[in-house]
Amino acid sequence: MKTVHFGTDGARGIANVELTPEIVLALGRAVARTITAPTFLVGRDTRRSGPMLQAALSAGLAAEGADVIDAGVLPTPALAWQSSVRNVPAVVVSASHNPFGDNGIKLFGAGGAKLTMETEAVIEEEMGRILDPAVRGPRPVEGYGVGALVAEEGLVDAYVDHLGSLIEGRRLDGLRLVVDSANGAATAVAAQVYERLGADVVAIGCEPDGTNINANCGSTATETLAAAVVEHGADLGLALDGDADRLAAVDATGATVDGDELLALFAIDLAERGQLAGNTVVVTVMTNLGFALAMDARDIIVKETPVGDRHVLAALDKDGLSLGGEQSGHIIFRRLATTGDGLLTGLVLADLLVRESRPLAELLDGLVEHVPQILVNVPVADIGLLEGAEAVWSAVAEEEADLGGLGRVVLRPSGTEPLVRIMVEASGDGVAEAVAQRLSALVGYELQSAAGLAAQVDG
């Protein structure tokens, strides 16, 4: 029985193959049965499959008696903010930074935080029951019990106004920015955010056609942005991803700045202003070792979580902390937002540059000395076989022992794709590359062998 599974950031798959209207309709019904709320907010990014899947999802919610507010194309963090303000759950149809042929579903509970993995597991189970013809479901709602679908205007303007209120009355006058919206959900929003505060903005990546989202643009491909920053003599370049919940930056020289460097800059700035709660910043296991060394040198505590901004948020809330994020550019300013917000991150960065009156390259000079890091993605047929691959985990332990305190290995299943991700950090020329090559070859061999054996047993 075909269904979908939730990973580190929602459920994703190939649109109309793994995420079909039938599957998403069942998912909508399962969500409504699990999260019993009278009203849901539903939005999407600019993918061609978005309207189709949003319609199916909304139909599933309405079929269970829930009203649906259609937010149309809107950044994921804007939906999360609306969820927080209205105290209603929200659903975003988006595959974030993935190619346009993919799509996905992100779920937020009332209050704007992503659902726990436990709640997502319950939704998966309920969806399985809905899709099983042998299971008799509850009596369907009818007549006046069916939910209403209503489009709402003005959500973009409300979000722009909200972001503009978060920098305590300061402005961005005199700052020239290039903003790349990745032909995605922030297309109608991004330039407005910064222009309203006085910045001179050059907007690129803002001509979505349904198929060009994230295509050679945005946070995963900053080359075009870098060229535009240099061409226009800009102070700063901001690159969003398809649903605008992450950010990569480019300095005035055209050099790309990753999430680790941004997070270090923000942590130090907040600490100096007495606004870094607990004098602590939360990161994931994928954060470069150089970040931890930079924070240690400034007596800032680093707390580490598994990959995924939901884990970062959980750690922030558990200890009442204010800042956390990922190397990918998901950064959470907990006192300002409930999730990663690329537009907010860009705004905080632009505000910092104006306050410091120094170029970004100068602020970052020598801040994070990256330990050489290699990331290899190994395609596998069945990601579930990794947990029991004893030879793989034994090899990981041996490689880490050989590295001693001069490096580390992080090997994990992707939460969004059929990949095993291998990250190796190690000092010394070619050391990280050699370890990653050995482990990737072993993962490929062991998991393919296990998959073949499983197929023989099933046969």
106, 309 contact by CB (below 8 A): no
CATH, domain range 373-458? 3.30.310.50
367 pLDDT band (50/70/90 cuts)? very high
Q: Which CATH superfamily is domain 258-370 in?
A: Alpha-D-Glucose-1,6-Bisphosphate, subunit A, domain 3 (3.40.120.10)
Tell me the average pLDDT of the chain: 93
- Which amino acids are annotated catalytic? 96
CA-to-CA distance for 193 and 187, rounded, in angstroms? 11
What is the predicted pLDDT for the residue at 309? 86
- In this structure, whether the domain defined by 176-255 belongs to CATH 3.40.50.300 is answered with no
389, 346 contact by CB (below 8 A): no
Q: What is the dihedral of CA 120, 124, 130, 136, to 10 degrees?
A: -90
What is the predicted pLDDT for the residue at 405? 72
Residues 6 or more apart whose Cβ sits within 8 Å of residue 455: none
Q: What is the mean pLDDT of residues 139-150?
A: 92
Q: What is the DSSP string of 390-449?
A: HHHHHHHHHHHHHHGGGEEEEEEE-SSSSEEEEEEEESSTTHHHHHHHHHHHHHHHHHHH
What is the predicted pLDDT for the residue at 436? 93
Q: Half-sphere exposure (CA, 13 Å, Cβ side) for 220?
A: 16
Report field, pTM of the whole predicted structure over 0.85: yes
The answer on pLDDT for 457 being more than 70 is no
What is the predicted pLDDT for the residue at 383? 84
Most distant CA pair in the chain, distance = 70
CATH topology of 6-155 equal to that of 373-458? no
For residue 243, which of 157, 183, 185 has the smallest C-alpha distance? 185
Domain ranges of the chain: 6-155, 176-255, 258-370, 373-458
CA dist 204 to 17, 68, 185, 222, Å? 31, 32, 13, 11
Backbone angles phi and psi of 307, in degrees to 5? -65, 140
The answer on pLDDT for 449 being more than 80 is no
Share above pLDDT 70 across residues of the chain, in percent, rounded to a whole number: 97
What is the predicted pLDDT for the residue at 447? 85
Strand ranges inside 24-66, DSSP E:
39-44
What is the predicted pLDDT for the residue at 451? 46
Helix axes 390-403, 431-458, angle to 10 degrees: 170
352, 334 contact by CB (below 8 A): no
pLDDT digits over 7-52, tens only?
A: 777 889 999 999 999 999 999 999 999 999 999 999 999 999 999 9
What is the predicted pLDDT for the residue at 307? 85
CATH, domain range 6-155? 3.40.120.10
What is the predicted pLDDT for the residue at 67? 98
Residue spans of alpha helices (H) in 168-288: 190-195, 223-231, 259-272
Burial label, 367 (beta-carbon count in 10 A; 0-12, 13-18, 19+): middle
The answer on pLDDT for 201 being more than 50 is yes
